[in-house]
């Protein structure tokens, strides 16, 4: 893997920021390729070859291309055999707990983003906002996810 790692990102994307933070934490050299989502660059043919789901972030590490922020973070740690409490590969119990935590809170990001984009930010990007009825539904879905997360947190007393 002689080529420098490329990260397709945009600083306004929280999922991109997660990967950028992990790259900084692990001190991994990389090149940033900013994707202008406000102009739909993630939907261009060339980018579909990087991530067919047309989302950022994604990375290209030599011949290895992948997307999904959490998977990218795990890959960065495991492929470089780095030691970090952020993903303790050597500690099976801690690792299992972290996988469980991620699964418990999996829907939180998607549901929050649905409300944020479809009900508010889309206007900034010149896209249609959700109708009042749809907005109500997105918010209800979000509250359900938050209620579940709240239950999980109170069970753990954290
Ligand atoms: N589950 C994905 C979510 C990625 C995602 O939703 N990215 C947004 C930016 S924050 C995106 O690319 N949106 C562009 C679009 O939906 O057209 C991850 O964790 O990487």
Instruction: Report how far ligand 1's centroid is from the alpha carbon of 67 (Å).
Output: 10
Question: For the chain, percent helix, then strand, then coil, each to nearest 5?
Answer: 60, 10, 30
Q: Using one digit for the tens of pLDDT, what is the confidence trace for 136-156?
A: 999 999 999 999 888 888 887
**What is d(CA 133, CA 135) in angstroms, rounded to the nearest whole number?**
5
Ligand 1 in contact with 55 (CB < 6 A)? yes
Give the mean pLDDT of 58-67: 97
Residue 1 clears pLDDT 60, i.e. is over it: no
Enumerate residues 6+ apart whose C-beta is below 8 A from 67.
50, 51, 53, 55, 57, 58, 59
Residue whose structure tokens are 């950028």:
20
Q: Using one digit for the tens of pLDDT, what is the confidence trace for 65-87?
A: 999 999 999 999 999 988 888 88
Please count the other Cβ atoms lying within 10 Å of the Cβ belonging to residue 133. 8
Q: What is the pLDDT of residue 25?
A: 94
Q: What is the pLDDT of residue 67?
A: 98
Strand order in the sheet with 58-61: 30-34, 5-9, 58-61, 64-67
Give the mean pLDDT of 30-52: 96
Instruction: Report how far ligand 1's centroid is from the alpha carbon of 96 (Å).
Output: 26
Give the mean pLDDT of 31-46: 96
Per-domain boundaries in the chain: 5-79, 105-156
Ligand 1 in contact with 69 (CB < 6 A)? yes
Q: What is the pLDDT of residue 2?
A: 63
Which of helix, strand or coil describes residue 139? helix
Residue 158 clears pLDDT 90, i.e. is over it: no
Residue nearest to atom 1 of ligand 1 (CA): 68
Instruction: Report how far ligand 1's centroid is from the alpha carbon of 58 (Å).
Output: 10
Instruction: Report how far ligand 1's centroid is from the alpha carbon of 127 (Å).
Output: 16
Token pair recorded at residue 112: 């929050």
Ligand 1 in contact with 104 (CB < 6 A)? no
Phi first, then psi, for residue 54 (nearest 5°) are 60, 40
Topology of domain 5-79, CATH? Glutaredoxin (3.40.30)
């Amino acid at each position: 893997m002689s080529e420098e790692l490329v990260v397709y990102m945009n600083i306004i994307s929280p999922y991109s920021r997660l990967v950028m933070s992990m790259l900084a934490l692990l001190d991994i050299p990389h090149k940033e390729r900013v994707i202008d989502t406000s102009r739909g660059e993630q939907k261009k043919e060339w980018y579909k070859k990087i991530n067919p789901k047309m989302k950022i972030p994604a990375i290209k590490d030599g011949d290895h291309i992948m997307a999904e922020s959490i998977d990218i973070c795990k890959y960065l740690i495991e492929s470089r055999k780095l030691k970090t409490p952020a993903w303790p590969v050597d500690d099976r119990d801690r690792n299992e707990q972290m996988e469980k935590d991620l699964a418990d809170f999996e829907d939180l990001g998607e549901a929050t983003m649905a409300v944020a984009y479809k009900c508010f930010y889309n206007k900034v990007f010149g896209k249609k906002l959700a109708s009042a009825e749809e907005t109500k539904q997105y918010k209800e879905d979000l509250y359900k996810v938050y209620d579940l997360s709240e239950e999980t947190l109170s069970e753990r007393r954290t």
